[in-house]
C-alpha cells in the first residue's frame, strides 16, 4: 500500500510560492479523506470522473481500495498530468478546462477537490463566462463573490447521471458565503443531499491552509428532507468504515453522526452544528448595530505613519486616527498608550479621510496626483468612487470586533476613539451612556457569549472564525447576562425566533 503513495505535497512557507498555489487552487487531499469519497461514488460505477485531477489523489485512493472502476481525469496543468501515477491501464487523463470546455457526456460518479480560487483572483472575462454558465444551469446568476470552486460544483452536478453520485471536498464558504442560500436552495430542490462531513480543528485535512474543509455527498435522486451531518474528530479510517456500511454503522467513537432536518440545516448553516432550540431571545442587534470597517482599496497610499505625514508635509487635519489590523491590538481595551506604542514601532495609525468635495490644500492635491500617477484611481474598488479618493464614511464606534481571529477576546473597547479599517468591524452601541457601553462590552466578552460565535461565523483552519456584519448582528446574547448587567433594549421587536 505504501508503494502507491507517490504523491505528497509540502505547503511552501515562502509567500510567493504559496501565492502560486493559491492562483491555481492546488492543494493535495490526504488518503484518509479521499478513500471515503471514492468509496461513496463507486457504488455500481464503472467509470469515475475527476474534473480537477491534479497529481492524482483520488486515483491513488481508488488504487489503494483496489477498485475495478476506470478513472477519467481532467486538468489544465500539463505539469501535474505528467505524474507517474497515471502510467497504468485504468486511468485516462487529458488537458481540458472543465469550466470552459466540459466533457460532452454525463457520469455516474464524480469526485473532486476543485481548485479553490477566490473571486478577486478571477479575471473579468472568466467571470462573465461563469455568470453565463450559472444562468444556463440554474436559470439565474449568483453573487459574484463566489469562488471558482462553486462553479466547478455546479458544472459537475449538471453532468451527473440519474442516480449518479458526487463527492466534493470544498471550503466552508461553500455554504457560508453571500451566495450560499441561493446555491443550496437550488441544489436541495433538484438533488438528494445525503451527507455533509465537517472536521474538527484536530482533524483538519489541510492543517497548513487557512480554510476549513467540508465534504458534500450528493445523489442525482429525488430530494429528501433528511441528511447525515458528520463531524470528524480524529484522522483515521472510521469515515471510510461508515461509508462502507452504507451509513448504518454508528459505532464509531471518533466521529459524530447526526440525522438532521434539511430545513433546519439550511437555516442554521450546513457548516454549523444543529441548534434547534432557541438559544436566547436576545441578540446583538438588540443592543448595537454592526458595520464593517473602512475599505481603502490602496492601504499603502491612504494609511500612513506620523513620520510619513511629516516627510510629505501633509496637513494633519486631513487624517483620522485609525487602526489597521487585528494584531496591532494586543489588549481588549484600546487607549492612547497602545496607539503611541504602534507609532514607535513605525506602524501606520493615520488615515487620509476626505469624505466630501471641498477645496483641498496644495500639499494634498499634489499627493493625490501621485496616486493618479500610480494609477490607483483605476483599481477595481477605487474607480467606482467619485472622486476616487473619497473615503468611506464612518463614525467612531464604541467597540471594535476582530474580523478574523483566534483570540479569546474578540470585542475591543475603543476608548481612544479610532476608526478601523476593513479588517475590523465597527460596533455602534444603541445606548451611548458610558456604563451601558461598558456593561455590553463585558457581556460580549463573556465566555457564554463568545461560544455562540460559532452559530454566526464562517469557520477557517486552525480554529479561526470569521463573522460578517450581517451575521454578527444575530449573535445570541445569554438572557441571564442581559439581566445580570442590566442591558437596555433601545428598540423592541418580536422575539419569537432567533434564526
Q: Which three cell numbers stand for residue 431?
A: 445606548
Q: Which three cell numbers stand for residue 214?
A: 467540508
Sorted by sequence, the CB contacts under 8 Å of residue 124 that are 6+ apart come out as none
Q: At residue 315, does pLDDT exceed 70?
A: yes
pLDDT per position as a tens digit, 168-210: 999 988 988 789 999 999 999 999 999 999 998 888 888 766 5
Q: At residue 166, does pLDDT exceed 60?
A: yes
CA distances from 178 to 143, 159, 271, 447, 458 (A): 7, 25, 14, 28, 11
Q: How far apart are CA 470 and CA 338, in angstroms?
A: 29
CB 105 within 8 Å of CB 112: no
pLDDT per position as a tens digit, 270-305: 988 886 555 789 999 999 999 999 999 999 999 999
**120 falls in which pLDDT band (50, 70, 90)?**
confident
DSSP state for residue 350 in the 8-state scheme: E
CB 263 within 8 Å of CB 275: no
Residue scoring higher pLDDT (152 or 116): 152
Q: At residue 436, does pLDDT exceed 50?
A: yes
Beta bridge partners of 75: 95
CB 403 within 8 Å of CB 326: yes
CB 16 within 8 Å of CB 22: no
Other CB atoms within a 10 A radius of the CB of residue 227 amount to 24
CATH number of 284-484: 3.90.220
Whole-number pLDDT of residue 69: 96
% of the chain at pLDDT higher than 70:
88
Q: Cα angle at 490 between 486 and 495, to 5 degrees?
A: 85
Whole-number pLDDT of residue 1: 34
**DSSP state string for 238-286:** HHHHHHHTTS-----TTEEEEEEEHHHHHHH-TTS----S---S-BGGG
Using DSSP's 3-state secondary structure scheme, residue 42 falls into: coil
Beta bridge partners of 292: 425
Sorted by sequence, the CB contacts under 8 Å of residue 156 that are 6+ apart come out as 51, 110, 112, 114, 166, 168
pLDDT per position as a tens digit, 359-412: 999 999 999 999 999 999 998 889 889 999 999 999 999 999 986 655 555 899
Whole-number pLDDT of residue 405: 55
Whole-number pLDDT of residue 349: 97
Whose CA is closest to 461, among 264, 211, 245? Answer: 211
β-sheet with 319-323: strand ranges across: 303-304, 350-352, 319-323, 419-420
- Global pTM reads 0.71
CATH number of 2-268: 3.40.50.150
Whole-number pLDDT of residue 118: 83
Which residue ranges make up each domain of the chain?
A: 2-268, 284-484
Lowest mean pLDDT among 35-49, 106-120, 203-217, 326-340: 203-217
| Interval 42-55 mean pLDDT | 94
Q: How far apart are CA 464 and CA 273, in angstroms?
A: 16
| Interval 484-494 mean pLDDT | 73
Residue found by looking up cell 483620522 in the block:
320
CA atoms within 13 A on the CB side of 477: 27
Cis peptide before 387 (omega within 30 of 0): yes
Q: In the structure, how many helices (H) and strands (E) does the chain have?
A: 17, 21
| Interval 134-161 mean pLDDT | 95
CA atoms within 13 A on the CB side of 86: 18
Whole-number pLDDT of residue 496: 37
**DSSP state string for 225-237:** SEEEEEEE-SSSS
Q: Cα angle at 14 between 12 and 17, to 5 degrees?
A: 70
Q: At residue 497, does pLDDT exceed 90?
A: no
Q: Residue 48: what are its φ and ψ, rounded to 5°?
A: -105, 130
For the chain, what is the mean pLDDT? 88
% of the chain at pLDDT higher than 90:
71
Amino acid at each position: 500500500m505504501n508503494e502507491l503513495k507517490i504523491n505528497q505535497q509540502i505547503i511552501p512557507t515562502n509567500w510567493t510560492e504559496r501565492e502560486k498555489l493559491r492562483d491555481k487552487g492546488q492543494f493535495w487531499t490526504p488518503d484518509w479523506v479521499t478513500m471515503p469519497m471514492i468509496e461513496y461514488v463507486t457504488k455500481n460505477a464503472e467509470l469515475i470522473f475527476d474534473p480537477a485531477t491534479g497529481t492524482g489523489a483520488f486515483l491513488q485512493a481508488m488504487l489503494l481500495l483496489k477498485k475495478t472502476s476506470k478513472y477519467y481525469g481532467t486538468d489544465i496543468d500539463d505539469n501535474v498530468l505528467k505524474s507517474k501515477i497515471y502510467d497504468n491501464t485504468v486511468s485516462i487523463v487529458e488537458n481540458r478546462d472543465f469550466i470552459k470546455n466540459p466533457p460532452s457526456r454525463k457520469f455516474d460518479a464524480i469526485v473532486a477537490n476543485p481548485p479553490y480560487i477566490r473571486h478577486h483572483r478571477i479575471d473579468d472575462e472568466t467571470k462573465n463566462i461563469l455568470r453565463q454558465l450559472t444562468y444556463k444551469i440554474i436559470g439565474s446568476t449568483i453573487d459574484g463573490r463566489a469562488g471558482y470552486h462553486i462553479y466547478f460544483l455546479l458544472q459537475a452536478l449538471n453532468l451527473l447521471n440519474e442516480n449518479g453520485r458526487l463527492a466534493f471536498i470544498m471550503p466552508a464558504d461553500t455554504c457560508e458565503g453571500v451566495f450560499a442560500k441561493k446555491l443550496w436552495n437550488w441544489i436541495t430542490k433538484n438533488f438528494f443531499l445525503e451527507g455533509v462531513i465537517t472536521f474538527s480543528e484536530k482533524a483538519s485535512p489541510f492543517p497548513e491552509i487557512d480554510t476549513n474543509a467540508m465534504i458534500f455527498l450528493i445523489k442525482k435522486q429525488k430530494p429528501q428532507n433528511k441528511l447525515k451531518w458528520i463531524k470528524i474528530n480524529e484522522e483515521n479510517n472510521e469515515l471510510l468504515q461508515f461509508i462502507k456500511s452504507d451509513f448504518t454503522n454508528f459505532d464509531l467513537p471518533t466521529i459524530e453522526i447526526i440525522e438532521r432536518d434539511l430545513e433546519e440545516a439550511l437555516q442554521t448553516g450546513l457548516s454549523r452544528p444543529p441548534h434547534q432550540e432557541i438559544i436566547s431571545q436576545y441578540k446583538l442587534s438588540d443592543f448595537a448595530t454592526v458595520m464593517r470597517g473602512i475599505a481603502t482599496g490602496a492601504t499603502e497610499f491612504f494609511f500612513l505613519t506620523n513620520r510619513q505625514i511629516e516627510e510629505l508635509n501633509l496637513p494633519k487635519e486631513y487624517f483620522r486616527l485609525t487602526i489597521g489590523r487585528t494584531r496591532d491590538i494586543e489588549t481588549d481595551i484600546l487607549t492612547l498608550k497602545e496607539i503611541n506604542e504602534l507609532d514607535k514601532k513605525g506602524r501606520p495609525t493615520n488615515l487620509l479621510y476626505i469624505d466630501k468635495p471641498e477645496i483641498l490644500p496644495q500639499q494634498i492635491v499634489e499627493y493625490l496626483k501621485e496616486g493618479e500617477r500610480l494609477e490607483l484611481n483605476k483599481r477595481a474598488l477605487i474607480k467606482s468612487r467619485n472622486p476616487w479618493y473619497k473615503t468611506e464614511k464612518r463614525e467612531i464606534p464604541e467597540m471594535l470586533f476582530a474580523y478574523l481571529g483566534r483570540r479569546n477576546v474578540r470585542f475591543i473597547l475603543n476608548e481612544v476613539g479610532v476608526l478601523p479599517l476593513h479588517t475590523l468591524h465597527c460596533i455602534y452601541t444603541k445606548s451611548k451612556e458610558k456604563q451601558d457601553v461598558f456593561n455590553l462590552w463585558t457581556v460580549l466578552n463573556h465566555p457564554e457569549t463568545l461560544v455562540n460565535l460559532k452559530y454566526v461565523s464562517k469557520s477557517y483552519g486552525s480554529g479561526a472564525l470569521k463573522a460578517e456584519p450581517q451575521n454578527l448582528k444575530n449573535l445570541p446574547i445569554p438572557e441571564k447576562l442581559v439581566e445580570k448587567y442590566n442591558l437596555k433594549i433601545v428598540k423592541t421587536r418580536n422575539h419569537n425566533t432567533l434564526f
